[in-house]
Amino acid sequence: MFGSLFNCHKTRGYERFRVGSLQRILSPSGTDTFRFGPFYLNTQKRWKKPVVSAQTRLEDRTRDLRLDKFTSQLKKLKVVLKLQEMKSKWKGPFISVQRLSRWKNIVGLNVGIGIFLHKYPHIFEIFMHPRKRSLCCKFSQKIADLIEEEAKAIKESELLAVQRLKKLLTISTNGTLHIHALRLVKRELGLPEDFLDSILLKYPDDFKLVDLEIVALVSRDESLAIAKVEKWREDEYTEKWLSEFEVKYAFQIQFPTGFKIEKGFKETLKNWQRLPYLKPYEKNEVVRIRTCGGIERFEKRAVGILHEFLSITVEKMVEVERLAHFRRDFNMEINVRELLLKHPGIFYISTKGSTQTVFLREAYSKGRLIESNSISIVRRTMLDLLMLGRKNSKGLRSEKLNKETKQNIPCTDIHRFPVSGDWVIPILDQNLADNCADITTGEKHDTCDNGSICIKEG
C-alpha cells in the first residue's frame, strides 16, 4: 500500500515538472529558459567577443622583470624614509622599538617591525637602553648622511625645480595647477617639503597664487616650450636620414623582451606614428574629437603630455594614481591607466607593491636610469645601501662593540662582556694583599702547595 502511494506521488511530481518545463519553453513572455532536453540539442550559442579593458591589458601585458624588481626595492626604501620622517618628529636621537611597532600599518609594512629592522643593519642600529632595559633603535650615520645629502642636492637644484614647474604650467590648459596635485608629486619633481614658501612665494616674477590651492604662471617662457621628444626626433632626422614625414610626430618605441607582435600590428603602429597631433606646448589649435580621426589625435596628444610629464620628473617615473590629479589641468578627460597600457612600447606599468608605478621606457636600460642627475644619484646610493641587507655586517658588529665598551653601555651579548659577580674576585684579591702587608716583619710567609699563604716563624 505504501509502495503504491510512493509511486503515485513520484509520477505526479514528474508530470508537474514536464508540464512546467514545456510552459516555460513555449511561453513568449517567460524570462527563464530550460537549457536541457531534446529541444536544445541543435541550438547554437552566440560567440561573444572577449572584453578588452584596462584590467585585461594589465593582466596580459608583457612584464619587465628588471623594472618590477626595481619597483619592489623602491617600496622598501619608501618605508625606510617614512620611518625616518616620523622619527624626526620625535624628540631624542633614538626611539624604542615598541613605539616603532605602532607605526607599522601607517608606513605600509606587512611584516613585523623587529624582522624589518634586523634585516637591514646598515640602516638601523638596535641596542639595549642602559637604564630602561628596553630595545631601542636609531638610524645609522650612513643613511643620515645620505638623507642630508639629498636635501642639499634638492636645495642646489632649485633653479631646475623652477623650470620644471614652469614647464608643467605651460602645458596646462589655463596656465594653472592645483597645489594639492603638486604636493603629491613633490618628490618626483625634486621639490623641497616647503616648496610653497621656498619656491612659489620666492619667485613672484614667475608664479602667483590665484587661490589658496591654485598657482598660475605669470609669463610664458618660449625657450622652455620644447618637448623632450623633439631632441630625439631631430637626432633621428639628421643621423638616420629619415624623412620628416616619418619622424615629425613619432615617439621612441622600445618593446620589452618577449613582446608578441600580432598580425597587422606593425602597420597599425606605423600609421599611428605618422598621425599628426597637437603637441603639449601648442595652444593655437583646438582638438575636435568628433571629426575624422579626432579620437586618435586626442589620445595621441594625451600620450605626448604624459611623455613630457615623465621626462620632466627626476627619476622618469610616477605613480599612476597621482597622474590622475592632473587630468583636468591638462584637459585629459580619459582613463589614464588604460591609455598607458595601450602603448607598451612607450610606457610600462609595474604592479609591484601597493601601488601602480609607470616608467618611461626609453629612460631606463637594464633596470637603471640612463641619464642621472645629482638627486637621482643620491637616491640610488640609498637604495644600494639598503639592498646590502646583512652583507658586510661583521664590521658593523665590531664597531658597535667597541663603541659600547667606550661608552660603558651594557650589551646583551654575555659571552663578550663581564657579567654580574665578576667584581667579587678583584676585591678578595685586594683584601688578601692588605692582610699580607699587615703581617709583622719577624714573620716569614710563603705559599703552600694548595695555593694558600702559610706563615712561618723566623
- pLDDT averaged over the chain? 79
Q: pLDDT tens, 12-56?
A: 555 665 655 555 544 544 444 545 555 555 665 666 667 777 777
Residue 158 one-letter amino acid: E
Show the DSSP H helices in 277-416 as ranges: 294-312, 320-323, 336-341, 374-387, 394-407
Query: In angstroms, rounded to a whole number, what is the distance separating the alpha carbons of residues 33 and 21?
Result: 9
Which of 120-129, 134-143, 306-315, 444-453 shows the lowest mean pLDDT across its residues?
444-453
pLDDT attached to residue 112:
86
Please report, for the chain, how many H helices and E strands are present, in that order. Answer: 19, 13
Positive or negative torsion for Cα 273, 278, 280, 281: positive
At residue 192, does pLDDT exceed 90?
yes
Show the DSSP H helices in 200-262 as ranges: 228-239, 244-247
Q: pLDDT tens, 283-306?
A: 755 555 556 567 889 999 999 999
At residue 446, does pLDDT exceed 80?
no
pLDDT attached to residue 2:
43
CB atoms within 10 A of CB 74: 19
pLDDT attached to residue 87:
86
Conformation bin of residue 259: beta by default, left when phi > 0, alpha when psi is -120 to 50: beta
Query: In angstroms, rounded to a whole number, what is the distance separating the alpha carbons of residues 244 and 267?
Result: 18
End-to-end CA distance of the chain: 132
pTM for this structure?
0.74
Cα 298 to the center of its chain, rounded Å: 30
pLDDT attached to residue 49:
67
Instruction: Show the cell assigned to 166.
Output: 614652469
Query: In angstroms, rounded to a whole number, what is the distance separating the alpha carbons of residues 326 and 432?
Result: 85
The number of C-alpha atoms within 13 Å of 124 and in the hemisphere containing its C-beta is 26
Q: Which of 361, 346, 298, 351 is nearest to 320 (CA)?
A: 351
pLDDT attached to residue 429:
46
> How far, CA to CA in Å, does 5 sit from each of 13, 14, 18, 163, 249?
12, 14, 20, 93, 85
pLDDT attached to residue 424:
42
**Greater confidence, 437 or 159?**
159
Which neighbouring-strand residues pair with 453? 447
- Considering only CA atoms, give the Rg of the chain: 37
Label residues 270-296 b or e (16+ Cβ within 10 Å = b): eebeeeebbbbbeeeeebeeeeeeeee
At residue 153, does pLDDT exceed 90?
yes
Instruction: Show the cell assigned to 381.
Output: 646610493
Which neighbouring-strand residues pair with 443? 457
Instruction: Show the cell assigned to 278.
Output: 597637437
**What are the domain boundaries of the chain?**
2-40, 158-217, 227-371, 424-457
Segment 233-261 shows an average pLDDT of 87
